[in-house]
Amino acid sequence: MKKVILSFLVLIASLQLNAQSKTGTIDTDFILSKMPELTKVQEDLKAYNSKLEGDLKIKVDEYQVKVKEYQEKVTSFTEPIKKTKQEEIIGLEDDIAKFRQNGAQLVQLQQNKLLQPLYQKIGKALEEIAKAESYTQVFTITTSGLAYIDPNYDLTKKVMTKLGIKIEEPKK
């Protein structure tokens, strides 16, 4: 009976040793801010934003032309034509309002689309390091709210090195 209990305790102890995990951290936003590809993403995003602003200006200019035309000729319009022109102007106002509301969302979607390949690149490098060094979990520093992090388990610099990003040492 003692041999069975002793064997059982040894089994449990060995399972616990095997079940231990290695946890690390990474600051993906910091890595992203140092990636040279970010400049191109920012330029593309600025160009996209300019295009949206141009599209909005076209809509506003069209609206202003219609309003001016309506104000100049309102006395010569019959009631049905006046009503049609008013509805047309209201439709343009609604279109401009919707475009402004959706503009911020469109910019955010475009930003996500442009940044996705960079985050995938970071993720791939992290995965390779985590597998090579037997990490079972890696937390993102910027969103985890961790109170303490042992710098020995921060993989940020290793991922930056793997991606070929120069690590600037803080000036003392």
The string of pLDDT tens digits covering residues 42-52 is: 999 999 999 99
Beta bridge partners of 138: 24
Domain map of the chain by residue range? 24-29+36-162
Q: Is 137 helix (H, G, I), strand (E, B) or coil?
A: strand
pTM of this structure: 0.67
DSSP secondary structure string for all residues of 11-30: HHHHHHHHH---EEEE-HHH
Using a CB cutoff of 8 Å and minimum separation of 24, what contacts does 77-84 make?
Answer: none
What pLDDT sits at residue 157?
87
What pLDDT sits at residue 141?
83
Domain 24-29+36-162 CATH assignment equals 1.10.10: no
List, for residues 101-119, the tens digit of each pLDDT value.
898 899 999 999 999 999 9
